[in-house]
Chain A
Amino acid sequence: MLRPLLAALSLATAAAAADDVRTPLTDPLGSGMWSYHQKELLGDPLDIRFDDRVIVQGPANAEDTVNVPLLVDATAIGDVEEIRIFADYGPIPHILTYHPGQAAPKIALRFKIDQATAIRAAVRSADGAWHVGSTYIDAAGGGCTAASHAYASDDWEERLGMIHGQVWADTGRARMIVDHPMDTGLADGIPVFIIETLDISDTQGQPIARLDLHEPVNEDPAFTLYFEPDATPEALRITGRDNNGNDIDGLITVAGYNG
């Protein structure tokens, strides 16, 4: 309880000094932290705007603070290099960066929320411009500072890195759930233990997309990636590594695929 509060306070103090961004914007959610993140998390870009074409959808209320669903859709922006997803208020604001590559600039994920906050998706298009979408999610608090549930079961080590998932070519989507505690390091006595990167490639090893995960991603990270239905790969290889050096490796396929 105390630590995120102090973190939020120190961030708020920092925010007061960070108003001198190169391109001042009016935050549609008026959360008070925007210009700070514009500078610190996005590097104070010159070409940046709030853009309704970046759709960010979450529940109005986080029923389960350690499993908050979020859907970010930037397909209307066109050629997207990366999507940075973060919370204005949280002990660790940065949730995830998605490099869609060959996939559509659209992703579904779950994350841990620590308090009511604006959630942002900052989308950098190929021309270097930033387009920002937002939503506001109310929450009871505690999602980031709670210990993961994993250690309550005694087989968590065997399940570490286990992947469930499938590809649906007809609707152009791939879903994956990777077993991992994703400990934030904010719970007393439990060090940071997270997957840092997941690479998505085709069966020949050609890269398709990449996800950079940060502490607030939920325990057992779950993602949907989207594709043009007629350009959906039949199988996707998922590889990655956590910060303790454990490898992650799996193959999700369309049902019945035998490649």
Chain B
Amino acid sequence: MITTRRRACALIGATATIGLPNLPFAQARLSYDLQPKPAGPGIWMIEGSTDYFSMDNGGAIVNCVLLQGDSGLIVIDTGPSRRFGEALAGVARTLDLRGVSAVVNTHHHPDHFFGNQVFATQPIHALGDTIRLAQDEGDGFADNMYRLLGDWMRGTEVVPPRNVLDGGEVTIDGRAFTVLPLSGHTAADMALLDQRSGLLIAGDLVFHDRAPTTPSADLAQWSAALDTLEATNAAAILPGHGPLDQAGASIAQTRAYLDWLNTTLRQSARDGLDMIEVMQLPLPERFAAMGAQPDEYQRSVSHLFPDIELAVLPRAN
């Protein structure tokens, strides 16, 4: 069924392109312009937009990292589509002619691993639970991504990571990392501390000037994960979404937002508010200024409020 829908999308996309008077322009519009930004010695980041998935950004909303390994570049997270993965591979070849030597997926959300098929001949590492979640939920995510991004997704197939990484000291293509197996943003979130530079690659456990997303979140686990990340005293933090954080403010910012979200939703349930009323609550200025607001807050109400309400309201029989 999913395959059928994807084919239908591809067909619709093809028809639309043929119908457009200016074919070269239409094709040019659907290409990712990825610029590697230095993020330390032998480290580059591709910085995503802080908006939500849209036809305008093609889903390039995620941060990807390239680190110099012994035989090529180690890529952390591969973006939302095959086409993005191809652009990422192109960027890698401009930095090191040998291209990408290994891939790591921090977690199983589609914007972090749907570029994997481009790197299918390389090892693709992830936590064991991330591999299982990508296998279980990947097709459902693909359905949704085709709906949100249309022709940007053309040809994208779900390629889950294959190589299990446990926590602890790990060497990937000659480069030493401390792997932190955590959870909270999803049931399995990996953060990596690059031992050479002290850079913490936090995945989506940390957002920076961009509202955290919660479709698979457990807020209590997430808070505990932030404690662990804080204790690394990293030299700099590369968040899953938003700019590189040299000052170490992004962990506290993520924590403050999630605490506020949890408190607000619980109090709203105690006050008997309905979901629509909760969605309409005004955001404090510092959270309203984050990227993708107030939409991301409203999505979080959808994700989190039904369970919170059941926990808060008394039994009636």
Interface residues of A (CB under 8 A from B): 1, 57-59, 63-64, 67, 69-71, 108, 110, 140, 161-166, 168, 171, 173-177, 220, 222, 224, 238, 249-253, 255
Contact = CB atoms under 8 A, between A and B. Distances in A.
Contact of A177 (B4, B147, B299, B309): B309
B313 interface: yes
B27 interface: no
Given A58-B276, A59-B298, A70-B276, A166 B317 contact: no
B306 A164 contact: no
Interface in B72-112: none
Given A1-B5, A71-B274, A222-B309, 15 more contacts: A59-B276, A59-B298, A71-B277, A108-B275, A108-B276, A164-B309, A168-B271, A171-B271, A174-B272, A175-B313, A177-B309, A177-B313, A220-B310, A250-B316, A253-B316
B144 interface: yes
Given A59-B302, A222-B309, A140 B272 contact: no
B317 A162 contact: yes
Contacts of A249: 317
B277 A164 contact: no
A249 B303 CA distance: 28
A249 B215 CA distance: 33
Contact of A162 (B272, B276, B315): B315
23 contacts: A1-B4, A59-B276, A59-B279, A63-B303, A64-B302, A69-B279, A69-B302, A140-B143, A163-B315, A163-B316, A165-B313, A165-B316, A166-B314, A168-B271, A168-B272, A220-B310, A222-B309, A224-B274, A249-B317, A250-B316, A250-B317, A251-B316, A251-B317
Interface in B125-151: 143-144, 147
Contacts of A175: 272, 274, 309, 313
Contacts of B299: 63
B1 interface: yes
Nearest to A72: B276
A241 to B, nearest CB: 14
Using C-beta atoms within 8 Å of the partner chain, give the interface range for chain B. Answer: 20 to 34
A108 B274 contact: yes
A56 B144 CA distance: 26
A223 to B, nearest CB: 9
Interface in B232-273: 271-272
Contact of A69 (B274, B314, B315): B274
Q: Which of A63, A161, A171 is most buried by chain B, counting CB atoms within 10 A of its CB?
A: A63
Nearest to B147: A140
A110 B143 CA distance: 23
Contacts of A173: 272
Contacts of B275: 69, 108, 110
Contact of B317 (A67, A69, A161): A161
Given A57-B276, A59-B302, A164-B310, A238 B316 contact: yes
Contacts of A253: 316
B49 to A, nearest CB: 18
B272 A163 contact: no
B303 A64 contact: yes
Contacts of B143: 140
A71 B274 CA distance: 8
A108 B298 CA distance: 17
Given A1-B5, A140-B144, A164-B310, A252 B272 contact: no
